Amino acid sequence: MAASCRVKLNDLKMDSSSHGFPVTILEQTAAQLVCSPADQKLALHLDEEDELKNLRECFHIPKIKDLPPTDSTLVNENESCIYFAGNSLGLQPKKVKVYLDEELAVWATRGVHGHFSGKRPWALGDECIVELMADIVGARKEEVALMNGLTVNLHLQMLSFFSPTPSRYKILLEAKAFPSDHYAVESQLQLHGLDVEKCMLMIQPRKGEETLRIEDILDIIEKEGDSVAVILLSGVQYYTGQLFDIPRITKAGQEKGCYVGFDLAHAAGNIELHLHEWGVDFACWCSYKYLNSGAGGLAGAYIHEKHSQTIKPALIGWWGHEFKTRFLMENKLQLSPGINGFRLSNPPILLVCALHASLEVFGQTTMKALRRKSILLTGYLEYLIKHYYSEDKANPEKPFVKIITPPQIEERGCQLTLVFSVPIKSVFKELEKRGVACDMREPNALRVAPVPLYNSFHDVHRFIEILGSAITSAKQAANNAAPS
């Protein structure tokens, strides 16, 4: 191939102010290759020039034959599946088993001595990897703790940040927040004896729209902020895939005297975060989605250092005591400052191992490089969906796919949320039969997430081909089921 045709992802200029950026790159590169942007040739070229492609080798990619819903008559069972479900559960890093076996061996051969010996002393296991996590979320090491699950951490933080007064007693969140966040907010209000209907302020999209406009979020903060104690939003909305403007929302909320926190379950490991620089008050996230630590993995929590001496935990455990005197057992609390004072118990070392394996993969690159690839990877998926499955007003019989995730690259991560003109449950079932792992969420959304750590441009191209046959089969099934 001529040198003029070689387009490296690392050389691409990321202008996030224009959602046309991926289209421009795809079309220009295809022109250099003398092919259509829809041609498989482009996907293979982009993979060849991808400087992150070797990271895929760090993960186990399931084979189609091992996925339970597969129909062997429709697929080559020995191929790797198309795994676009990293927004639900990330793939397993290959080092997970190695690290688990190491600690199981320590337990078997050293017993209790594993707490303070070996390369990953159990009593300090979380602290061995916390800096890797802090880098991913753009925080200082002392602002991050690895502990519990997301909702436990959210409750612990809310107990300290939500201190309602007669004039400031509301919590602001998005109307379609993930159920865990919704229930956590409800129960925090009930814990304080407050009326949920009056105190739970939910932001709705405009009529006929799926996502929230930043001007509407800022407007409600301006109008209601004086009575809001805490603003709690997603970093990336789980259903629509919308990325919220975290720094603007944080600034606006704090200017009105609110604490501002974020659930980063769908943001950590997906987008670039700068929690310390943005001044976010608190945040929490799970680690089993884009951070690939396995189901129920060890979660993360953050509190900005500006609160390290003023925000104290409401519930305290042994692990919140300063390490240097923790084992004197004098029962005279010397509380660790900041988020470390919120830790309750010793870290679960087997969960630490799984998370360690994934964070090391992240450590081989940067979030900036991953985001660069992600923008083009998801942009390629968007381009092909629009190319093949846009609504055709002149042909109302043609099935179509609508993307409800914002088109602007600065307003989304890697996930696209799709709705269909044919029954979505049938489309999802047909995709699963053909070796595609993605995620359907009620009432009518298919969430598709090409993850830059382990997904390829060829994965996207294969998905689009399979999507066509899945839609055709779903339409035929719907026609057959229709009354004659």
User: pLDDT band for position 443 (50/70/90)?
Assistant: confident
Question: Would the pLDDT of 155 be above 90?
Answer: yes
So what's the pLDDT on residue 477?
Answer: 86
> How high is the pLDDT of residue 15?
46
Model confidence pLDDT, tens digit, residues 3-35:
344 555 555 544 444 445 899 999 999 999 999
Percent of the chain whose pLDDT exceeds 90: 92
Q: Which residue has the higher pLDDT, 478 or 182?
A: 182
Is the confidence at residue 173, as pLDDT, over 90? Answer: yes
Mean pLDDT within 469-477: 93
SS (H, E, C) the chain: CCHHHCCCHHHCCCCCCCCCHHHHHHHHHHHHHCCCCCCHHHHHHHHHCCCCHHHHHHECCCEHHHCCCCCCCCCCCCCECEECECCCCCCCECHHHHHHHHHHHHHHHHHHHHHCCCCCCHHHHHHHHHHHHHHHHCCCHHHEEECCCHHHHHHHHHHHHCCCCCCCCEEEEECCCCHHHHHHHHHHHHHCCCCHHHHEEEECCCCCCCCCCHHHHHHHHHHHHHHEEEEEEECECCCCCEECCHHHHHHHHHHCCCEEEEECCCCCCCCCCCHHHHCCCEEEECCCCCCCCCCCCCCEEEECHHHCCCCCCCCCCHHHECHHHHCCCCCCCCECCHHHHHCCCCCCHHHHHHHHHHHHHHCCCCHHHHHHHHHHHHHHHHHHHHHHHCCCCCCCCCCCEEECCCCCHHHECCCEEEEECCCHHHHHHHHHHCCEECEEECCCEEEEECCCCCCCHHHHHHHHHHHHHHHHHHHHHHHHHCCC
What are the phi and psi torsion angles at 333 (to 5°)?
A: -60, 125
348-394, pLDDT tens digit by residue? 999 999 999 999 999 999 999 999 999 999 999 999 999 999 999 99
Q: What is the mean pLDDT of the chain?
A: 95
pLDDT (mean) for 447-471: 98
Residues 298-304 have a mean pLDDT of 98
